[in-house]
A and B are shown apart, each in its own frame.
Chain A
Amino acid sequence: MIVAERKPIEKILEMVAPYKKILVAGCYGCVTVCLAGGEKEVGILASQIRMARSKEDNPIEVLEQTVERQCDAEYLEKFRDNIAQVEAVVSLACGIGIQYLAEKYPKTPVFPGVNTLFLGANIDVGKWEERCMACGDCVLDKTGGICPIARCSKHLLNGPCGGSQYGKCEVSKDVPCGWQLIYDRLKELGQLDKLKEIIPPKNWLRAKGPRTLVREDLTLER
């Protein structure tokens, strides 16, 4: 799941400073699950903006709406009536949703209300941890199911580095060393020999621009 976090209010207030009527747009997808941009967060932000602006004697009207997913055009359609009424939109979806929303409503400024952080797992209420960096060439088969890119602070493909101490990463004693985890897991699996294999460098070059995923087997011909 995509994990995001609400932006500090000052930043958002700055973005909407010129406007008198805006829409706060939520998403029932990942950002609801990570408690950053669902209907409740929309309510919270809207309330906060209204109060802050009242305080400055510069009242603002804030509409609130949340749709299933902002990364699907069909759902974005639902915003049409409200967007027609406002001068700007603050989207609480992830970076994908925000961009897609902006793209669908090119005449209206769309601002990010959250910082999109990472792809992570929901450990418990209020806790998330990064697990994948969407590198596009997954090596989990070689690393005991533990991602060296997401879990190693230095994204080393052939670790560990010299900073691994007592199982912790040198960046902080609270961060487990990704490569120690990989070692432990492989040992448990009896696959330590996999460590001998050198993982070749990844091709990070974006010759083709931003990554897309097209699965010809699933696409719908119209």
Chain B
Amino acid sequence: MGENGKRNTRVGIYLCDCDGKLSKKIDFSKVKTVIQSKADFEYIRVAKRLCGPSELQELSEEIDKYSLNRLLIAGCSDPMINRRIVEVAENKGIVRYFVDFVDLFALSEGKKDATEDAIASVNETLDLIGMKADVKIEELDVVPDVLVIGCGIEGGVAARAISKKQPVVLIDGGLEVTDGLDLVKGAKNLTVKTNAKVLRVSGFPGEFLVRISENGKVIDQKFGAIVIALGAQPVYDKSKYGGVELGGPVLSLSQFVKSRPECAGKRFTFVLDKADQDSLISHATVLREAVALKEQGAADVNVFYIDMKVTADHLEQMYEKARSVGINFLKYVDDLEIRTTSTSATVRYREPFLPDVGIVEVTSDYLVLAEDFVPFSVTQELAEIMELRLGPGGFFQEDNVHFLPIKSNREGIFFVGSCHGPIHGTELTREVEAVAAEVGRFASGKVRVPALQPRVEAEKCAVCLTCYRSCPHKAIEIVHDESLNNMYHSAARMHPLACRRCGTCAAECPGKAIQLPLYTDQEILTKTKKPPTLVAFACENSGALAAELAQKLDSQFQEKFKLQVVRVPCAGKVDVIYLLKALERGAEGVLVFGCHQENCKYIWGNKRAIKRKEQVRKLLEDIGIERDRLEFVHIAANQGNQFYDAVKAMAEKVRQFGTNPGKVVR
């Protein structure tokens, strides 16, 4: 939304000679004169060496003197130097997004006289500056209180750590697990509610409104953030042990831990790696228990295993210790056979290390079998209420590296511990530290964020809900306000703390009502006004970085293939219109680079982009233009070669196709 209709941009233009290095190729006074004939800026000057301390000081004073709120710096492209200039600007209240650089070295490379190029480039950048949406740093009030769901050990540890900095309400989520409550006894700032369930969550990070039923009584309370720490449930699955039932001498590991039998003189056998194969919880538990048994006088302790899992703090040492106190570690390869009587259990197995011995029998008084860890049944229900996504095995969390270790698909909602996949105690410590740091942002009751979330032009919003439904992070609400200028007096609104700025909503909106600051349609379409042979829309998390690596492999590569790389925050931002326009304006081929399957930082941005590629390919085909002029490529930030190869392949393809027949000549 244009703030007050009109924007008051006051641009300062600095043409920096870089200590005389640039004036050999660029006639600065000419650039200045030509630019001066354009009206939309406030101040212009040629600088000798803008990065020097005295000129930086001068710049700082000029910002005040001319009330500048945008800067255009034409000179070098050294990121360190640019950073220093931005620092000066930010200290004067010009946010970083409003300092633009034109790399005069790059554009004068290989040329005798680059004056005209400099003029063109400064002009273009000036146009782009004029299009930028205003970005303010907003200070928002937030609720410092945190809701922790789960009263098990994990919830207890998390609640205790968080409550050191801000108020916590700890609820059991309707589970009967309460063994974490001892951990929070006496903690200040902490309220416990048991037999309490979440019924509804609305609102956004900083101010979630949560409806909780506590012993049947319904209350609404506001929370800044929510931490889910439900833990996981050990479940004995007899099919993994050839149908052996628990009872008598056979115990599950959790039964054993809860009520350890009298051990002096007894023989114990543990079986690992039949169940709980994805984690090392059982391994850690068995190592601990086995050593304790031995120390307390058990006659014989055996541990059956396939791979001893030791990837957590102290586990290797514990394993070492277990071996040194005489615990027998028995590796098995084939299936185990278990036979039980009312007082003992026998495990028969083939001893792999002693091939001549064949089948060996191990009999003990107690047989302890590891269990699988599965999500509590409320997981599904909570996921629905809170619109959270589940991953493998029905545990919380997207199976995507961007979300590890504790992030959910929504800002302000976090997972800790085994509710997102069984984890071991030492990892829990680190997750709790991380989650406390995350929710700690709200502890003071205020946060400052740049308002970079998309803006909606109400006049164009049909309240169609497309954006609302396409947002992977549930960052959109539909607001009703008489001042909204459309027939519904309603429009979509993106929340600054919930939005992760992928731009998917903007690309999906059928009314073109949504603009993402720094990547508005106008800015992107202006950048691709005169496309060279190839245009690549490249996601900043993958393609754009791979392009930089490709550039390192061959510094001439973009020129060689006549390629323009357009940075987008996510492939999901690439609008059908961008693709069509690039071709209409004469690009011979268009590439969209997005992340690999299941690696999109914004969950489904790459999938949306693939759909749009298919849509545009169909549109092209329908008018007899080669569909393969458009391609989507999965790539990662470290794949410079693959980027290069994809561009090369497209260059080859369009060479075979010949001139793009759809190019519209004006």
SS class, residues of chain B in contact with chain A: loop
Evaluate contact between A51 and B622: CB separation under 8 angstroms. Answer: no
- A47: chain B residues within 8 A (beta carbon): 577, 580-581, 584
Tell yes or no: B465 within 8 A of A by CB.
Answer: yes
- Contact (Cβ within 8 A) B623 A55: yes
**Which residues on A sit within 8 Å (CB–CB) of B508?**
125
605-664 of chain B: CB within 8 A of chain A? 619-620, 622-625, 661-664
Report Cα–Cα, A66/B511, bound state, in Å.
9
Contact with A35, one of B510, B513, B581 (Cβ below 8 angstroms)? B510
Q: Are A51 and B511 in contact (CB under 8 A)?
A: no
- B663–A54 contact, CB under 8 A? yes
Q: A164 on the interface (CB 8 Å rule)?
A: no
Verify if A124 is at the interface (C-beta below 8 Å from B).
yes
Least distance between A68 CB and chain B CB atoms (Å): 6
Residues of A within 8 A of B510 (CB): 32-33, 35, 38-41
What distance in Å separates the Cβ of B585 from its nearest Cβ neighbour in chain A?
10
- CB nearest neighbor in A for B621: A9
Decide yes or no whether A191 CB sits under 8 A from chain B.
no
Q: Which of B462, B583, B661 contacts A32 (CB 8 A)?
A: B462
* Contact between chains at B466 and A48 (CB < 8 Å): no
Verify B576–A40 contact, CB threshold 8 A.
yes
Whether B470 is near chain A, meaning CB under 8 Å from some CB there, is: yes
* A44 x B486 contact (CB < 8 A): no
Please tell me if the beta carbons of A44 and B623 are within 8 angstroms of each other in the complex: no
B464 within 8 A of A: yes
Residues of B within 8 A of A55 (CB): 623-625, 661-662
Q: How many residues of A contact B (CB 8 A)?
A: 29
Is B460 engaged at the interface, CB distance under 8 Å to the other chain?
yes
The reply to whether the CB of A185 lies closer than 8 angstroms to some CB of chain B is: no
Q: How far apart are A4's CB and chain B's nearest CB, in angstroms?
A: 12
> Complex Cα distance A47/B463, Å?
25
Separation of A32 and B584 alpha carbons in the complex (Å) = 24
A29 within 8 A of B: yes
Known A-B contacts A50-B664, A51-B583; A40 and B511 likewise in contact (beta carbons under 8 Å): yes
Which residues in chain A, 14-50, are within 8 Å of chain B measured between CB atoms? Answer: 28-29, 32-33, 35, 38-41, 43-44, 47-48, 50
Is B580 touching A44 in the complex (CB atoms < 8 A)?
A: yes
User: A38 and B662 in contact (CB under 8 A), knowing A47-B580, A124-B469?
Assistant: no
Q: Is the CB of B619 within 8 A of A38?
A: no
Q: Determine whether the beta carbon of A54 is less than 8 Å from that of B661.
A: yes
Q: Are B624 and A52 within 8 A (Cβ)? A: yes
**Which residues of chain A (56-82) have a CB below 8 Å from chain B?**
59, 66, 68-69
| Interface residues as binary, A121-147 with B (CB distance below 8 Å gives 1, 0 otherwise) | 010110000000000000000000000
Q: Digit string of B567-578 for contact with A (CB within 8 Å is 1, else 0)?
A: 000000001110
Chain B contacts of A125 at CB under 8 A? Answer: 466, 469-470, 508
* Distance in angstroms between the alpha carbons of A47 and B581 in the assembled complex: 7
B509 contacts A by Cβ under 8 Å: yes
Closest to A6 in B: B619
CA gap between A10 and B511 in the complex, in Å: 24
Do the beta carbons of A29 and B664 come within 8 Å of each other? no
Give complex CA distance A44, B575 in Å: 10
A14→B223 CA distance, assembly (Å): 59
> With A28-B511, A47-B580, A54-B665 in contact, is A9–B623 under 8 Å at CB?
yes
Q: Is A8 an interface residue (CB 8 A)?
A: yes
- With both beta carbons as reference points, the residue of chain A lying nearest to B521 in the complex is identified as A43
Contacts of A35 in B (CB 8 A): 464, 466, 510
Q: Cβ of B624: which chain A residues have Cβ within 8 Å of it?
A: 52, 55
Contacts known (A47-B584, A48-B619, A125-B470); A28 close to B460, Cβ less than 8 A? yes
Given contacts A9-B619, A44-B619, contact A54 B664 (CB under 8 A): yes
- Beyond A38-B510, A50-B584, whether A9 also contacts B664 by CB under 8 A is no
A68 engages B576 (CB within 8 Å): no
On whether the beta carbons of A51 and B664 are closer than 8 Å, the reply is yes
Residue of A nearest to B608 (CB): A125
Is B460's CB under 8 angstroms from A33's CB?
A: no
Residues of chain A contacted by B625 (CB below 8 angstroms) = 51, 55
Partner of A51, one of B466, B470, B487, B623: B623
B512 CB within 8 Å of chain A: yes
- Asked if A44 and B464 make an inter-chain contact with CB atoms under 8 angstroms apart, the answer reads no
| Known A9-B619, A48-B619, A68-B486; contact A29-B462, beta-carbon cutoff 8 A | yes
- The minimal Cβ–Cβ distance linking B214 to chain A, given in whole angstroms, is 32
Please judge, given known A-B contacts A32-B464, A44-B577, A55-B662, whether A38 and B623 are in contact too, CB under 8 Å.
no
Question: CA separation between A50 and B586, bound complex, in Å?
Answer: 12
Rounded to whole Å, the gap between the CB of A117 and the closest CB of chain B is 16
- Nearest Cβ on chain B to A71's Cβ, whole angstroms: 12
When C-beta atoms are compared, the residue in chain B nearest to A54 turns out to be B664
- Residues in A with CB closer than 8 Å to B462 are 28-29, 32-33, 38
B576 touches A48 (CB 8 A): no
Instruction: Determine the chain A residues whose CB is within 8 A of the CB of B465 once the complex forms.
Output: 33, 122
**In the complex, residue of chain B having the shortest beta-carbon distance to the beta carbon of A26:** B511
Q: Which of A9, A10, A35, A47 has its CB near the most chain B CB atoms (within 10 A)?
A: A47
Contacts A29-B462, A40-B575 given; 10 further ones with Cβ under 8 A? A28-B511, A33-B466, A38-B510, A39-B513, A48-B622, A51-B620, A54-B662, A59-B664, A69-B487, A125-B469
Which 7 pairs, one residue from A and one from B, show the smallest C-beta to C-beta distance? A51-B662, A38-B510, A52-B623, A33-B464, A55-B661, A47-B580, A32-B462
A and B contact pairs by CB, cutoff 8 A, 24 listed = A9-B619, A32-B464, A32-B510, A33-B462, A33-B464, A33-B465, A33-B510, A38-B510, A39-B460, A39-B511, A39-B512, A40-B512, A43-B512, A44-B619, A47-B584, A48-B580, A48-B619, A51-B583, A51-B625, A51-B664, A52-B624, A52-B662, A55-B661, A66-B511
Task: Mark B residues whose CB is within 8 Å of A.
Answer: 460, 462-466, 469-470, 486-487, 508-513, 575-577, 580-581, 583-584, 619-620, 622-625, 661-665
